């Protein structure tokens, strides 16, 4: 087996778990390539020198890999997607922190999970992505998002108006702080925090969620995933902010943004005992109140 390891900085609480992870990989003769900045972090901060076979720094350098390990939180997982892209390599999210919907293998279950992964005892689940098209080719080759596209005001305290069309049919002009278009995966992220619905991964939908709309009768709407959504933004400022997951760019109000389902998807690992509903209960702490 050959895996690629991608990670970001993490706290001391995960130091020993990280050392154990690389020790288990070594004991099972797993070939490891590692993101060079993450390797440097391990050397300088965790005081460990993992045995690796190669380094990678770009998307093109991840070759002949069976799995990609993302060590961190959901933000790290989203960044790992920019390295995997359309290669179809399954991503394993190992949580080094607290809440994580995508990085859902906790420190306590890591040893058992690694054994299952090495034995090939897992299922694959495909996640949809969004693709953004603009006249100026914003975001370059990384014009996709696993969670969401978010349009927001940049400097002004005034609200903006986002004229929204679905398959060229006018939907609404959202007068708000911004607008989110998210996938089913992103329905438990930014969209959820501003009142959007939780969608099951198999729903095959997108959600259009306004951010703090001026009118109380404006609510999120669920649309089929195969539609094309066009956005035209206006406001007091002439420049606005577009964010694809954690990557942001400024765009002019003359730019139309077209959003649709990406032509490729991301494969993630699902182990026995892990499902969307169990993740919801654990991460949102449903059932903690014993009166329920």
**Through-space distance between the first and last CA atoms of the chain, rounded to whole angstroms:** 45
63-119 pLDDT per residue, tens: 999 999 999 999 999 999 999 999 999 999 999 977 678 888 888 889 999 999 999
Q: Which two tokens stand for residue 67?
A: 């799995």
pLDDT confidence of 283, banded at 50, 70, 90? confident
Q: Which CATH superfamily is domain 130-261 in?
A: Probable inorganic polyphosphate/atp-NAD kinase; domain 2 (2.60.200.30)
The residues annotated with a catalytic role in the active site are 74
Q: Measure the CA–CA gap between 282 and 100, rounded to whole angstroms.
A: 10
Q: Please report, rounded to a whole number, the percentage of residues in the chain having pLDDT higher than 70.
A: 99
199-212 pLDDT per residue, tens: 999 999 999 999 99
Q: SS3 of 102, please? A: coil
DSSP state letters, 144-206:
EESSEEEEEE-S-SS-EEEEEEETTEEEEEEEESEEEEE-TGGGGTHHHHTTPPP--GGG-EE
**17 touches 25 (CB < 8 A):** no
pLDDT confidence of 45, banded at 50, 70, 90? very high
The residue extents of the domains of the chain are: 2-128+265-283, 130-261
Q: Which CATH superfamily is domain 2-128+265-283 in?
A: Probable inorganic polyphosphate/atp-NAD kinase; domain 1 (3.40.50.10330)
């Amino acid at each position: 087996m050959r895996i690629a390891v991608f990670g970001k900085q993490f706290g001391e609480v995960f130091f020993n778990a990280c050392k154990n992870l690389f020790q288990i990989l070594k004991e099972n003769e797993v070939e490891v390539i590692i993101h060079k900045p993450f390797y440097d972090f391990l050397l300088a901060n965790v005081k460990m020198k993992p045995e690796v076979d190669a380094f990678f720094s770009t998307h093109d350098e991840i070759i002949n890999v069976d799995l990609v390990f993302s060590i961190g939180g959901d933000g790290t997982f989203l960044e790992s997607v920019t390295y995997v892209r359309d290669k179809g390599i399954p991503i394993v999210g190992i949580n080094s922190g607290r809440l994580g919907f995508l990085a859902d293998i906790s420190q306590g279950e890591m040893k058992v999970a690694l054994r299952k992964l090495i034995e090939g005892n897992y299922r694959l689940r495909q996640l949809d992505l969004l693709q953004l098209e603009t006249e100026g080719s914003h975001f370059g080759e990384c014009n996709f998002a696993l969670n969401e596209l978010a349009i927001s005001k940049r400097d002004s305290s005034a609200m903006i108006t986002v004229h929204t069309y679905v398959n060229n049919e006018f939907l609404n002009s959202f007068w708000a702080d911004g607008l989110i278009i998210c996938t089913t995966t992103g329905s438990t992220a930014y969209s959820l925090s501003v009142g959007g619905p939780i969608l099951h991964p198999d729903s095959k939908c997108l959600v259009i969620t306004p951010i703090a709309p001026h009118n109380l009768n404006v609510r999120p709407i669920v649309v089929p995933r195969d539609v094309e959504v066009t956005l035209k933004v206006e406001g007091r400022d002439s420049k606005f902010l577009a964010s694809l997951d954690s990557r942001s760019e400024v765009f002019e109000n003359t730019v139309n943004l077209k959003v649709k389902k990406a032509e490729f998807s991301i494969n993630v690992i699902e182990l026995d005992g892990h499902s969307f509903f169990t993740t919801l209960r654990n991460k949102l702490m449903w059932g903690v109140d014993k009166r329920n």
